[in-house]
Chains A and B, each alone.
Chain A
Amino acid sequence: GENVEQHPSTLSVQEGDSAVIKCTYSDSASNYFPWYKQELGKGPQLIIDIRSNVGEKKDQRIAVTLNKTAKHFSLHITETQPEDSAVYFCAASMKGEYGNKLVFGAGTILRVKS
Protein backbone atom coordinates (compact mmCIF):
# COMPACT_ATOMS: atom_id res chain seq x y z
CA GLY A 1 0.00 0.00 0.00
CA GLU A 2 0.90 3.67 0.05
CA ASN A 3 3.41 4.33 2.76
CA VAL A 4 6.20 6.75 3.61
CA GLU A 5 8.29 5.99 6.66
CA GLN A 6 10.31 8.77 8.28
CA HIS A 7 13.08 8.52 10.86
CA PRO A 8 13.93 9.66 13.43
CA SER A 9 10.79 10.98 15.05
CA THR A 10 12.82 13.42 17.14
CA LEU A 11 16.33 14.73 16.62
CA SER A 12 18.39 16.99 18.86
CA VAL A 13 21.61 18.51 17.60
CA GLN A 14 24.02 21.15 18.82
CA GLU A 15 24.07 24.42 16.93
CA GLY A 16 26.54 24.16 14.07
CA ASP A 17 26.25 20.40 13.74
CA SER A 18 24.57 18.62 10.83
CA ALA A 19 21.14 16.99 10.90
CA VAL A 20 19.98 14.12 8.70
CA ILE A 21 16.40 12.90 8.32
CA LYS A 22 15.65 9.76 6.32
CA CYS A 23 12.55 8.54 4.51
CA THR A 24 11.61 5.41 2.63
CA TYR A 25 8.67 4.99 0.29
CA SER A 26 6.73 2.02 -0.99
CA ASP A 27 5.62 2.97 -4.53
CA SER A 28 8.39 2.40 -7.04
CA ALA A 29 6.52 4.68 -9.47
CA SER A 30 6.92 7.70 -7.18
CA ASN A 31 8.70 10.46 -9.03
CA TYR A 32 8.53 13.53 -6.81
CA PHE A 33 9.84 13.98 -3.26
CA PRO A 34 9.33 17.29 -1.43
CA TRP A 35 10.35 18.28 2.08
CA TYR A 36 8.33 20.64 4.25
CA LYS A 37 9.20 22.59 7.40
CA GLN A 38 6.45 23.40 9.86
CA GLU A 39 7.01 25.94 12.59
CA LEU A 40 4.78 26.08 15.62
CA GLY A 41 1.30 27.33 14.79
CA LYS A 42 1.97 27.63 11.06
CA GLY A 43 1.30 25.66 7.93
CA PRO A 44 4.03 23.51 6.35
CA GLN A 45 6.40 25.39 4.05
CA LEU A 46 8.15 23.75 1.12
CA ILE A 47 11.92 23.95 1.66
CA ILE A 48 13.33 21.72 -1.06
CA ASP A 49 12.16 19.06 -3.48
CA ILE A 50 13.72 16.53 -5.82
CA ARG A 51 12.45 14.65 -8.83
CA SER A 52 13.36 11.13 -9.81
CA ASN A 53 15.65 12.13 -12.66
CA VAL A 54 18.30 13.51 -10.29
CA GLY A 55 20.14 11.98 -7.35
CA GLU A 56 20.97 15.08 -5.31
CA LYS A 57 19.92 18.70 -5.00
CA LYS A 58 21.39 21.45 -2.84
CA ASP A 59 20.14 24.84 -1.72
CA GLN A 60 22.57 26.65 0.58
CA ARG A 61 22.66 24.66 3.86
CA ILE A 62 20.00 22.19 2.76
CA ALA A 63 20.46 19.18 0.51
CA VAL A 64 18.34 16.21 -0.46
CA THR A 65 19.57 12.89 -1.81
CA LEU A 66 17.54 10.22 -3.58
CA ASN A 67 18.27 6.53 -4.07
CA LYS A 68 15.53 5.19 -6.34
CA THR A 69 16.84 1.62 -6.23
CA ALA A 70 16.51 1.52 -2.46
CA LYS A 71 13.40 3.74 -2.48
CA HIS A 72 15.08 6.00 0.01
CA PHE A 73 15.62 9.77 0.26
CA SER A 74 17.20 11.99 2.89
CA LEU A 75 17.29 15.61 4.01
CA HIS A 76 20.64 17.02 5.12
CA ILE A 77 20.93 20.31 7.00
CA THR A 78 24.45 21.56 7.61
CA GLU A 79 25.61 24.22 10.09
CA THR A 80 22.31 24.05 11.93
CA GLN A 81 20.95 27.17 13.58
CA PRO A 82 18.31 27.63 16.30
CA GLU A 83 15.83 28.84 13.68
CA ASP A 84 16.05 25.43 12.01
CA SER A 85 14.13 24.03 14.98
CA ALA A 86 10.77 22.86 13.61
CA VAL A 87 8.91 19.77 12.46
CA TYR A 88 10.08 18.42 9.10
CA PHE A 89 7.92 16.28 6.84
CA CYS A 90 9.00 14.27 3.85
CA ALA A 91 6.53 13.25 1.15
CA ALA A 92 6.41 11.09 -1.95
CA SER A 93 4.07 11.21 -4.90
CA MET A 94 1.84 8.15 -5.18
CA LYS A 95 -0.11 7.29 -8.29
CA GLY A 96 -3.85 7.34 -7.85
CA GLU A 97 -6.76 6.81 -10.20
CA TYR A 98 -6.84 10.45 -11.24
CA GLY A 99 -3.18 11.27 -11.01
CA ASN A 100 -0.52 11.57 -8.38
CA LYS A 101 -1.10 12.57 -4.79
CA LEU A 102 1.39 13.25 -2.03
CA VAL A 103 1.74 10.88 0.91
CA PHE A 104 3.55 12.33 3.92
CA GLY A 105 5.84 10.81 6.48
CA ALA A 106 4.97 11.12 10.15
CA GLY A 107 7.34 14.02 10.72
CA THR A 108 10.58 14.68 12.60
CA ILE A 109 10.84 17.18 15.44
CA LEU A 110 14.24 18.85 15.07
CA ARG A 111 15.65 20.73 18.05
CA VAL A 112 18.79 22.77 17.59
CA LYS A 113 20.40 23.56 20.93
CA SER A 114 22.43 26.75 21.23
Chain B
Amino acid sequence: EAGVTQSPTHLIKTRGQQVTLRCSPISGHTSVYWYQQALGLGLQFLLWYDEGEERNRGNFPPRFSGRQFPNYSSELNVNALELEDSALYLCASSRVTPGGGNTIYFGEGSWLTVV
Protein backbone atom coordinates (compact mmCIF):
# COMPACT_ATOMS: atom_id res chain seq x y z
CA GLU B 1 0.00 0.00 0.00
CA ALA B 2 1.40 3.39 -0.98
CA GLY B 3 2.09 5.87 1.76
CA VAL B 4 1.40 9.58 1.74
CA THR B 5 2.93 11.10 -1.36
CA GLN B 6 3.89 14.72 -1.82
CA SER B 7 5.06 16.79 -4.76
CA PRO B 8 7.26 18.49 -5.59
CA THR B 9 10.04 17.24 -3.31
CA HIS B 10 12.13 20.38 -3.65
CA LEU B 11 11.48 23.79 -5.10
CA ILE B 12 12.95 27.29 -5.08
CA LYS B 13 10.76 30.36 -5.36
CA THR B 14 11.35 34.09 -5.33
CA ARG B 15 9.94 36.33 -2.63
CA GLY B 16 6.48 37.55 -3.61
CA GLN B 17 5.68 34.53 -5.77
CA GLN B 18 3.02 31.93 -5.14
CA VAL B 19 3.47 28.20 -4.64
CA THR B 20 1.20 25.16 -4.71
CA LEU B 21 2.15 21.95 -2.94
CA ARG B 22 0.30 18.70 -3.50
CA CYS B 23 -0.48 15.69 -1.36
CA SER B 24 -2.09 12.30 -1.92
CA PRO B 25 -3.22 10.53 1.25
CA ILE B 26 -3.04 6.84 1.98
CA SER B 27 -5.88 4.98 0.32
CA GLY B 28 -8.92 4.96 2.58
CA HIS B 29 -7.85 8.00 4.58
CA THR B 30 -10.23 10.94 4.46
CA SER B 31 -8.31 13.42 6.64
CA VAL B 32 -5.32 15.40 5.42
CA TYR B 33 -3.13 17.58 7.62
CA TRP B 34 -0.49 20.11 6.68
CA TYR B 35 2.43 21.03 8.93
CA GLN B 36 5.29 23.47 8.51
CA GLN B 37 8.72 22.58 9.82
CA ALA B 38 11.21 25.41 9.65
CA LEU B 39 14.89 24.51 9.98
CA GLY B 40 15.72 23.45 13.51
CA LEU B 41 12.16 23.87 14.72
CA GLY B 42 9.27 21.61 15.51
CA LEU B 43 6.11 20.76 13.64
CA GLN B 44 3.76 23.71 13.36
CA PHE B 45 0.16 22.79 12.54
CA LEU B 46 -1.15 24.59 9.44
CA LEU B 47 -4.41 23.06 8.24
CA TRP B 48 -6.66 20.03 8.62
CA TYR B 49 -9.10 18.89 5.97
CA ASP B 50 -11.64 16.12 6.22
CA GLU B 51 -14.27 15.14 3.67
CA GLY B 52 -13.45 18.24 1.65
CA GLU B 53 -13.99 20.65 4.51
CA GLU B 54 -11.46 22.70 6.47
CA ARG B 55 -11.75 21.42 10.06
CA ASN B 56 -9.10 23.41 11.80
CA ARG B 57 -6.47 26.00 11.09
CA GLY B 58 -3.23 26.85 12.84
CA ASN B 59 -1.90 30.30 13.66
CA PHE B 60 -0.83 31.24 10.15
CA PRO B 61 -1.79 34.26 8.00
CA PRO B 62 -4.54 33.99 5.35
CA ARG B 63 -1.99 33.79 2.55
CA PHE B 64 -1.65 30.14 3.59
CA SER B 65 -4.65 28.30 2.21
CA GLY B 66 -5.59 24.97 0.79
CA ARG B 67 -8.28 22.66 -0.29
CA GLN B 68 -9.19 19.01 -0.42
CA PHE B 69 -10.55 17.37 -3.54
CA PRO B 70 -13.29 14.70 -3.84
CA ASN B 71 -10.58 12.01 -4.10
CA TYR B 72 -9.21 13.29 -0.75
CA SER B 73 -5.99 14.62 -2.23
CA SER B 74 -5.06 18.10 -1.11
CA GLU B 75 -3.24 21.23 -2.14
CA LEU B 76 -1.51 23.81 0.03
CA ASN B 77 -1.20 27.26 -1.50
CA VAL B 78 1.05 29.99 -0.20
CA ASN B 79 0.72 33.45 -1.70
CA ALA B 80 3.09 36.41 -1.52
CA LEU B 81 6.00 34.24 -0.39
CA GLU B 82 8.30 35.61 2.28
CA LEU B 83 11.82 34.50 3.13
CA GLU B 84 10.62 33.01 6.42
CA ASP B 85 8.30 30.68 4.52
CA SER B 86 11.36 28.59 3.68
CA ALA B 87 10.68 25.27 5.36
CA LEU B 88 9.78 21.63 4.97
CA TYR B 89 6.05 21.31 4.37
CA LEU B 90 4.71 18.01 5.59
CA CYS B 91 1.44 16.42 4.67
CA ALA B 92 -0.10 13.67 6.76
CA SER B 93 -3.26 11.61 6.50
CA SER B 94 -5.48 9.54 8.74
CA ARG B 95 -8.77 7.76 8.96
CA VAL B 96 -11.40 9.38 11.14
CA THR B 97 -12.66 7.17 13.94
CA PRO B 98 -15.27 7.89 16.61
CA GLY B 99 -13.70 9.13 19.80
CA GLY B 100 -10.63 10.50 18.12
CA GLY B 101 -7.13 9.19 18.59
CA ASN B 102 -6.49 8.89 14.89
CA THR B 103 -3.07 7.66 13.85
CA ILE B 104 -1.57 10.03 11.31
CA TYR B 105 1.08 9.08 8.78
CA PHE B 106 3.42 11.60 7.24
CA GLY B 107 4.79 11.97 3.75
CA GLU B 108 8.41 12.84 3.05
CA GLY B 109 7.63 16.52 2.66
CA SER B 110 8.21 19.30 0.17
CA TRP B 111 11.28 21.45 0.72
CA LEU B 112 10.52 25.07 -0.13
CA THR B 113 13.29 27.62 -0.38
CA VAL B 114 12.35 31.26 -0.84
CA VAL B 115 15.11 33.53 -2.15
Whether the Cβ atoms of B99 and A98 lie closer than 8 Å is no
In the assembled complex, the CB of B90 is this many whole angstroms from the nearest CB of chain A, namely: 6
- Chain B residues 72 to 115 lying within 8 A of chain A, measured CB to CB, are 90, 96, 99-109
CB-contact partner of B100 in A32, A44, A97, A104, under 8 A: A32
User: Is A102 close to B, CB under 8 A?
Assistant: yes
Q: What separation, in Å, do the CA atoms of A33 and B21 have in the docked complex?
A: 28
Which residue of chain A lies nearest to B98 when distances are taken between CB atoms in the complex?
A: A99
Given contacts A51-B101, A100-B101, contact A36 B42 (CB under 8 A): no
Whether the Cβ atoms of A97 and B109 lie closer than 8 Å is no
Q: What separation, in Å, do the CA atoms of A42 and B111 have in the docked complex?
A: 10
Given contacts A36-B106, A43-B90, A44-B90, contact A99 B45 (CB under 8 A): no
Given contacts A98-B50, A101-B56, A104-B42, contact A43 B109 (CB under 8 A): yes
User: Is A106 close to B, CB under 8 A?
Assistant: yes
Interface string of A77-114 (1 = CB under 8 A from B): 00000000000010001011111111111110000000
- Chain A residues 30 to 45 lying within 8 A of chain B, measured CB to CB, are 31-32, 34, 36, 42-45
Whether the Cβ atoms of A106 and B106 lie closer than 8 Å is no
In the assembled complex, the CB of A34 is this many whole angstroms from the nearest CB of chain B, namely: 7
User: Is A46 close to B, CB under 8 A?
Assistant: yes
Whether the Cβ atoms of B48 and A46 lie closer than 8 Å is no
In the assembled complex, the CB of A2 is this many whole angstroms from the nearest CB of chain B, namely: 9
Q: What separation, in Å, do the CA atoms of A51 and B102 have in the docked complex?
A: 10
Q: Which residues on A are within 8 Å of B, measured CB to CB?
A: 31-32, 34, 36, 42-46, 49, 51, 89, 93, 95-107
28 A-B pairs with CB atoms under 8 Å apart are A31-B100, A32-B101, A32-B102, A36-B106, A43-B4, A43-B90, A43-B108, A43-B109, A44-B90, A45-B106, A51-B101, A89-B42, A89-B43, A93-B102, A97-B55, A97-B56, A98-B55, A98-B56, A99-B96, A99-B100, A100-B100, A101-B33, A101-B48, A101-B55, A104-B35, A106-B41, A106-B42, A107-B42
Known: A97-B55, A99-B102, A104-B45. 4 other contacts (CB 8 A): A36-B106, A42-B108, A43-B90, A93-B100
